[in-house]
Amino acid sequence: MNPRPLRPWLVLLAATALLAGCSRDDASQAGTPAAAPTYAAVARGRIDIEGGLLKLAMPREGIIASIAVHEGDHVHKGQLLAALDTQATQLAVSTAQAEQKQAEAQASLLDARMQAAHQRAERLAAAAAAGAGDGQSADDARENAQQLLGERDTARANAALAEQKVATARYELAQRSLLAPVDAEVVRRLIQPGAAVSSSSGAAFVLLPVQARIVRAELNESYVGAVHDGMQAEVVEDSGADQKPLSAHVVRIGEVFDTSTLEEDPQVRSNTRTVECVLTFDQPAPASLRIGQRVLVRFGTPKN
């Protein structure tokens, strides 16, 4: 058999195999995913504000008379939130004011009598010195003036005490109203008009103060040495949604180890020690970030 007619076919088969090998190499290289960027540390976190939410209770026990705000309202510092029934405290203020007026009137009367007695004692003393009056009468007048002086001082002290009672009654009246301590948003209202409240009733309102958002991240103990104050970081939602990372930086790293509160697996949570790391955003945080929302914090500059 002559082998020459087979040579073109052998060449064609070799070329085909070479092209197929190249195609597989190219496809393999094209299908290889790029290496994910690495960071100095990664931690779970949640959105918060300095100090957290405000839980306000009514200052005194009593019956809720009126509520001035609703959930979702924005309130200003000093704005009325709710008020208790004030009938008893208003009566206490009126009574204290009446006692104050009575005490002041008594002090004014004794002051006038004391001045008159003092002038009489001076005249009698002058007359006795000139031999035109009785010395005993001058002594009695002087003693009477001294006695009235003591009574006048006592009356003035009683008037001052009555003034303090008025101030106390007015303070108690003011304590029947709950005012917003800061500018905030009403997150929850936990009372109704007509409800009885006391010191054991718990919070009446939950407020979200108007403050900048921060991130409280739980830094695993193995990453504590890799993170430092001022370090840049990226913050993304923990839901896995495709979004642009938010720039932030570290402002404080805690000094106390604690168990994780964001780990869902209870066994892992009990065996994991973390340190709180607080970050602030480099730009104002978007309104879409809500208090308590979980996020993922990536520390440092990514490296491929």
**Helix axis angle, 87-129 relative to 135-174, nearest 10°?**
160
* 3-class SS letters over the chain: CCCHHHHHHHHHHHHHHHHHHHHHHHHHHHHCCCCCCECCEEEEEEEECCCCCEEECCCCCEEEEEECCCCCCEECCCCEEEEECCHHHHHHHHHHHHHHHHHHHHHHHHHHHHHHHHHHHHHHHHHHHCCCCCHHHHHHHHHHHHHHHHHHHHHHHHHHHHHHHHHHHHHHHHCCEEECCCCEEEEEECCCCCCEECCCCCCCEEEEECCCCEEEEEEEHHHHHHCCCCCEEEEEECCCCCCCCEEEEEEEEEEEEEECCCCCCHHHHHHCEEEEEEEEECCCCCCCCCCCCEEEEEECCCEC
Tokens of 117: 């007695």
In whole angstroms, how far apart are CA 168 and each of 65, 82, 89, 295?
22, 21, 10, 50
Domain boundaries, the chain: 41-50+212-299, 60-84+177-208, 87-174
Two domains, one topology: 41-50+212-299 and 60-84+177-208? no
pLDDT at residue 284, rounded to an integer: 87
Q: For the chain (length 304 residues), average pLDDT per consecutive 10?
A: 43 41 44 63 94 94 96 97 95 94 89 81 73 70 80 89 95 96 96 91 94 94 91 87 85 91 77 92 87 93 66
Cβ atoms of residues 76 and 180 within 8 Å: yes
Prediction pTM value: 0.71
Right CATH for 41-50+212-299 from 3.40.50.300, 2.40.30.170, 3.30.1740.10, 3.30.43.10: 2.40.30.170
Other beta carbons within 10 Å of 134: 11
CATH hierarchy code of domain 60-84+177-208:
2.40.50.100
In whole angstroms, how far apart are CA 103 and each of 11, 32, 172?
127, 95, 22
First to last CA, the chain: 61
CA atoms within 13 A on the CB side of 46: 13
pLDDT at residue 137, rounded to an integer: 73
pLDDT at residue 143, rounded to an integer: 81
Sequence-ordered list of residues with C-beta below 8 angstroms from that of 299, at least 6 positions apart, any chain = 39, 40, 41, 42, 43, 223, 226, 227, 231, 232, 233, 250
Q: pLDDT tens digits for 15-36?
A: 444 434 444 444 444 444 555 5
Tokens of 27: 């496809």
pLDDT at residue 95, rounded to an integer: 95
Q: pLDDT tens digits for 68-125?
A: 999 999 999 999 999 999 999 999 999 999 999 999 898 888 888 878 877 777 777 7
Provide the phi-psi class of 134: left if phi over 0, else alpha when psi is between -120 and 50, else beta. beta
